[in-house]
Amino acid sequence: MESSKPSQIVKGVVEAAVEKVGDALTPDVPGAPGSAPPSLEEPTTPHGPLPPKDEQGAPDTRTPTGAETGVPKIAKGQQGAYLTTANGARLRDTDHSLKAGPRGPVLLQDHHLREKITHFDHERIPERVVHARGAGAHGTFVAYGTAEEVTRAGFLKKGRETPVFVRFSTVLGSRGSADTVRDTRGFATKFYTDEGTFDLVANNIPVFFIQDAIKFPDVIHAGKPHPDREIPQAQSAHDTFWDFVSLHTEAQHHTIWNMSDRGIPRSYRTMEGFGVHTFRLVDEAGATVLVKFHWKPKLGVHSLTWEEAQMIGGMDPDYHRRDLYDAIEAGAYPEWELGIQVFPDTPEETFAGIDLLDPTKIVPEELAPVQPIGKLTLNKTPTNYFAEVEQVAFHVGHLPPGIDVTNDPLMQGRLFSYVDTQLTRLGGPNFTQIPINRPHADVNDMLRDGFHQHAVHAGVAPYRPNSLDGGNPFPAGDREHAFVDTPVTVAEAPKVRASPASFDDHYSQVRLFWQSMSPVEKEHIIRAYTFELGKCYHQVIKERQLQCLANVDPVLCEQVATGLGLPVPQPTVPLAEVQPSPALSQVGREWPADGRMVGIVVDAQGDLGDVHEVRRAVFDAGMVPLLIAAHGGTVDGLPVQRTFATGRSVEFDAVLLAGAPAPAPDAVPARDAKAGAPGSATVDPRVLLLVEEAWRHAKVIGAWGAGAEVLHQAGVTGTPGVVTGAAGAEVLTEVQRLMAAHRVWERFPASVA
């Protein structure tokens, strides 16, 4: 697939399917399982495994020690035409156990039965203790060369292309939880560099709840479901979470980010990523700078509305996962730029008065601009979720020469935790030998044996010094690009369990974040706090959190207190004087609409003149048009992807009305509760509901011809972001222009400034 023409590819995929006689009912839109259409009858002519889908990637075929094998990727998983045992003996029957006669007992001798059931019994491994639910994709990273001045890392040299695997995740939910819950998102990238693997284990929020790793079990125990009833799943709207963050007030900065729109991303493709900690970069001469890593999405940072997030949680719990994979399959490859904020490496380790070792603080981009150093493109979906997404193991300590850690006490603890956790999760110490984790650099460690050892180590001397293996492996020096632990001076100091005094400021940057929000973003934050605290049982916890909000901003505190029906407390610390950082706001700019979903309501009985043209124009704009009609199948030769019964507004970024369809035969509330929405004799109530929901989620709506009647009946004609016109093409042009801003926020004036 060519990455440069996503719209052409999307169009090609759907049109090819439409042309297939008889296949129009199941058009080949992204997401179809398998690489070939299935036959109606069970296939019986033996042949080898089908190839994976074009857009599926897989780990490189490397040995456990990083050498290329040249083995075709498909042959790693399975090969041959015939069903076999795990040891390769061909099998005749896998449908019946071996029994003493057709009605007799099953025989212990049935080794195939025992192998099949035993393996099945052990298919599950422990889920990650945090970030259990995730989705991953393969891609490439191309360096601009702009970081060459500050780091010797080879993969950041100009034009270098490095294979990567990225795993996105939620933090609190279990593996089967919904994608759209309010939570922080993980954004972990494995760069397979030829100087060793670099893992940038990042989040979509630039600060963390705690300043010291020793508090990690505390914050996670508080955020996870209550231990007695194991409720609620995958969310922070409960007493233990608010109990902790209102007492351990360094958590307040991260908490306001979670309560903002950042906590409910529209898509993984529209999230920023942040390394959170300050890293140290080292150049060829050993000179160092301190940096913070940022991922900037090409599509901008966008979120769902809270109501959408809740609806999607029920309707399509796999929403973000599906969005990621559909976009890649459609050729709308997700892209991010990697950037760094660069600070001088001074003994104080501060910048503009901000402590760079405090992971609850940001450095506003206005003070230290993010300088782009390379581009990430995700262009392959996994071939096997378990082998790749579940078994990938990240570690903050996977560092190539040129990138080093700092004394941030949160980072220091992570350096221990990430290896430790894999021992249980992946069943032993050899997890770097699992295909997705295999480095692309030569490996010659002296680690030996252990569960699931895949390398067949030769030699007799896995120790140093040795002469029996000829001295191999040899220590590398500077010329061989060895990793150097930066000789940072550690001040003479007593051993203490304490933090620097600067870590005591828990409110100034919470206020900075609040002050940097636009009015509509502030409304959403007020709503989120009110909702979450409203879900707590205990009033003291609500009161304690209100006290924290009083220390952030009087308006925020007062609005939330009003919603909770509680008195407004006075601040206990002076309100900080802060300079807002416009870069923190998500609104007010324009962004490309690649891969956005546009729903087009058609009336099979009405005028379909413009529909072909508009649908094509949506493709040409790099977006995906989905036709919504009264019934499945085709309308005027075009495939119907959603019906009034199966479609819901939350799937679409914009809705177009090409007609005003009359109530369909299945508009019966007893069959489809949506049909119970207020309607009229002339328009299907589910179409009106679609428009009303899209409208209150601040989405662009367009109509032409008879479609304008739907707007009229929904009572939204002439409101902001509702476009009408004589012809579809003209309406679409205006709709597209408005979509660049993501939502039509002017529709809802804010009550706070």
**Per the structure block, which two tokens stand in for 322?**
């599906």
Look-up of token digits 């203790």: 129
Tell me: is residue 414 an annotated ligand-binding position.
yes
Query: CB count, 10 Å around CB of 617?
Result: 19
**Per the structure block, which two tokens stand in for 325?**
């994979």
Kindly state the smallest distance separating residue 204's Cβ from ligand HDE, in Å: 9
Look-up of token digits 């495994």: 49
C-beta closer to ligand HDE: residue 127 or 243: 127
Kindly state the smallest distance separating residue 188's Cβ from ligand HDE, in Å: 4
C-beta closer to ligand HDE: residue 414 or 642: 414
Which residue of 188, 342, 399, 403 would you call a contact of ligand HDE, by CB under 6 A? Answer: 188
Applying CB under 6 A, the span of 299-307, 406-414, 529-537, 640-648 interacting with ligand HDE comes to: 406-414
First to last CA, the chain: 48
Kindly state the smallest distance separating residue 56's Cβ from ligand HDE, in Å: 20
Establish if 59 lies at the interface with ligand HDE (CB under 6 A).
Answer: no
Applying CB under 6 A, the span of 122-130, 244-252, 474-482, 650-658 interacting with ligand HDE comes to: 122-130
Kindly state the smallest distance separating residue 560's Cβ from ligand HDE, in Å: 27
CA nearest to 30, candidates 49, 51, 4, 9: 9
Please answer whether residues 84 and 91 qualify as being in contact, where contact means their C-beta atoms are separated by less than 8 angstroms: yes
**Per the structure block, which two tokens stand in for 545?**
């959190």
Please answer whether residues 96 and 85 qualify as being in contact, where contact means their C-beta atoms are separated by less than 8 angstroms: no
Establish if 686 lies at the interface with ligand HDE (CB under 6 A).
Answer: no
Kindly state the smallest distance separating residue 46's Cβ from ligand HDE, in Å: 39
What does the alpha-carbon distance between residue 515 and residue 157 come to, in Å, rounded to a whole number?
Answer: 39
Establish if 418 lies at the interface with ligand HDE (CB under 6 A).
Answer: yes
Tell me: is residue 448 an annotated ligand-binding position.
no
Kindly state the smallest distance separating residue 376's Cβ from ligand HDE, in Å: 15
Residues binding ligand HDE: number (CB under 6 A):
25
Establish if 186 lies at the interface with ligand HDE (CB under 6 A).
Answer: yes
Please answer whether residues 439 and 67 qualify as being in contact, where contact means their C-beta atoms are separated by less than 8 angstroms: no
C-beta closer to ligand HDE: residue 213 or 732: 213
Known active-site residue 131 = yes
Applying CB under 6 A, the span of 198-206, 262-270, 617-625, 648-656 interacting with ligand HDE comes to: 198-206
Which residue of 153, 201, 677, 732 would you call a contact of ligand HDE, by CB under 6 A? Answer: 201
Q: Which helix (H) or strand (E) holds 667?
A: none
Establish if 413 lies at the interface with ligand HDE (CB under 6 A).
Answer: yes
Position closest to ligand HDE via CB = 186
Which residue of 11, 167, 320, 699 would you call a contact of ligand HDE, by CB under 6 A? Answer: 167
* Given the residues 203, 204, 437, 551, the one annotated as active site: 203
Spell 623-639 as b/e; 16+ CB within 10 A means b: bbbbbbbbeeebbeebb
Kindly state the smallest distance separating residue 429's Cβ from ligand HDE, in Å: 14
Residue 425-464 contact track with ligand HDE, rule CB under 6 A, x = bound: ----------------------------------------
Which residue of 162, 180, 203, 267 would you call a contact of ligand HDE, by CB under 6 A? Answer: 203
Establish if 63 lies at the interface with ligand HDE (CB under 6 A).
Answer: no
What does the alpha-carbon distance between residue 517 and residue 577 come to, in Å, rounded to a whole number?
Answer: 16
Applying CB under 6 A, the span of 412-420, 432-440, 534-542, 560-568 interacting with ligand HDE comes to: 412-420
List the alpha helices (DSSP H) in 131-201.
none
Establish if 172 lies at the interface with ligand HDE (CB under 6 A).
Answer: no
Q: What is the dihedral angle through the alpha carbons of 633, 638, 644, 646, rounded to the nearest 10 degrees?
A: 60
Applying CB under 6 A, the span of 24-32, 126-134, 606-614, 725-733 interacting with ligand HDE comes to: 126-134
Give the angle 134-136-142 at the CA atoms, nearest 5°: 140
Look-up of token digits 């981009």: 365
Beta-bridge partners for 296: 337
**Per the structure block, which two tokens stand in for 477?**
């020096």
658 in helix, strand or coil? Answer: coil
Kindly state the smallest distance separating residue 425's Cβ from ligand HDE, in Å: 7
Please answer whether residues 191 and 155 qualify as being in contact, where contact means their C-beta atoms are separated by less than 8 angstroms: yes
Please answer whether residues 619 and 625 qualify as being in contact, where contact means their C-beta atoms are separated by less than 8 angstroms: yes
Which residue of 56, 162, 169, 193 would you call a contact of ligand HDE, by CB under 6 A? Answer: 169
Residues 127-146 that bind ligand HDE (CB under 6 A): 128-131, 134
C-beta closer to ligand HDE: residue 436 or 683: 436
Report how far apart, in Å, the C-alpha atoms of 278 and of each of 88, 198, 351, 368, 503 are: 51, 16, 11, 13, 15
Which residue of 164, 213, 549, 710 would you call a contact of ligand HDE, by CB under 6 A? Answer: 213
Applying CB under 6 A, the span of 93-101, 414-422, 672-680, 699-707 interacting with ligand HDE comes to: 414-422
Establish if 295 lies at the interface with ligand HDE (CB under 6 A).
Answer: no
What does the alpha-carbon distance between residue 153 and residue 202 come to, in Å, rounded to a whole number?
Answer: 19
Burial class for 160, CB neighbours closer than 10 Å (0-12, 13-18, 19+): middle
What does the alpha-carbon distance between residue 629 and residue 638 come to, in Å, rounded to a whole number?
Answer: 11
Which residue of 141, 216, 306, 336 would you call a contact of ligand HDE, by CB under 6 A? Answer: 216
Establish if 659 lies at the interface with ligand HDE (CB under 6 A).
Answer: no
Burial class for 744, CB neighbours closer than 10 Å (0-12, 13-18, 19+): buried
Tell me: is residue 425 an annotated ligand-binding position.
yes
Establish if 398 lies at the interface with ligand HDE (CB under 6 A).
Answer: no
Look-up of token digits 């941030």: 408
Tell me the residue type at 180.
T
Which residue of 294, 414, 596, 699 would you call a contact of ligand HDE, by CB under 6 A? Answer: 414
Kindly state the smallest distance separating residue 169's Cβ from ligand HDE, in Å: 5
Backbone φ and ψ for 45, nearest 5 degrees, come out as -80, 120
Which residue of 394, 513, 619, 644 would you call a contact of ligand HDE, by CB under 6 A? Answer: 394
Sign of CA dihedral 488, 489, 491, 496: positive
Report how far apart, in Å, the C-alpha atoms of 482 and of each of 153, 162, 478 are: 11, 19, 6
Establish if 268 lies at the interface with ligand HDE (CB under 6 A).
Answer: no
Known active-site residue 238 = no
Kindly state the smallest distance separating residue 459's Cβ from ligand HDE, in Å: 31
Tell me: is residue 141 an annotated ligand-binding position.
no
Kindly state the smallest distance separating residue 394's Cβ from ligand HDE, in Å: 5
Kindly state the smallest distance separating residue 254's Cβ from ligand HDE, in Å: 9
**Per the structure block, which two tokens stand in for 729?**
């093409």
Q: Which helix (H) or strand (E) holds 290?
A: strand 288-297
Q: What is the dihedral angle through the alpha carbons of 76, 78, 81, 85, rounded to the nearest 10 degrees?
A: 130
Please answer whether residues 377 and 139 qualify as being in contact, where contact means their C-beta atoms are separated by less than 8 angstroms: yes
* Given the residues 96, 119, 122, 131, the one annotated as active site: 131
Applying CB under 6 A, the span of 125-133, 464-472, 523-531, 657-665 interacting with ligand HDE comes to: 125-133
Establish if 385 lies at the interface with ligand HDE (CB under 6 A).
Answer: no
Tell me: is residue 268 an annotated ligand-binding position.
no
CA nearest to 613, candidates 704, 728, 730, 707: 728
Applying CB under 6 A, the span of 114-122, 410-418, 630-638, 711-719 interacting with ligand HDE comes to: 410-418
Please answer whether residues 662 and 648 qualify as being in contact, where contact means their C-beta atoms are separated by less than 8 angstroms: no
Establish if 208 lies at the interface with ligand HDE (CB under 6 A).
Answer: yes
Please answer whether residues 421 and 128 qualify as being in contact, where contact means their C-beta atoms are separated by less than 8 angstroms: yes
Give the angle 682-686-692 at the CA atoms, nearest 5°: 100
List the alpha helices (DSSP H) in 397-491.
409-425
Which residue of 10, 137, 202, 711 would you call a contact of ligand HDE, by CB under 6 A? Answer: 202
- Note the residues at the interface with ligand HDE (CB under 6 A): 128-131, 134, 167, 169, 186, 188, 201-203, 208, 213, 216, 276, 392-394, 410, 413-414, 417-418, 421
Binding site, annotated residues for heme: 128, 167, 216, 414, 418, 425
Q: Catalogue the active-site residues.
A: 131, 203
Binding site, annotated residues: 128, 167, 216, 414, 418, 425
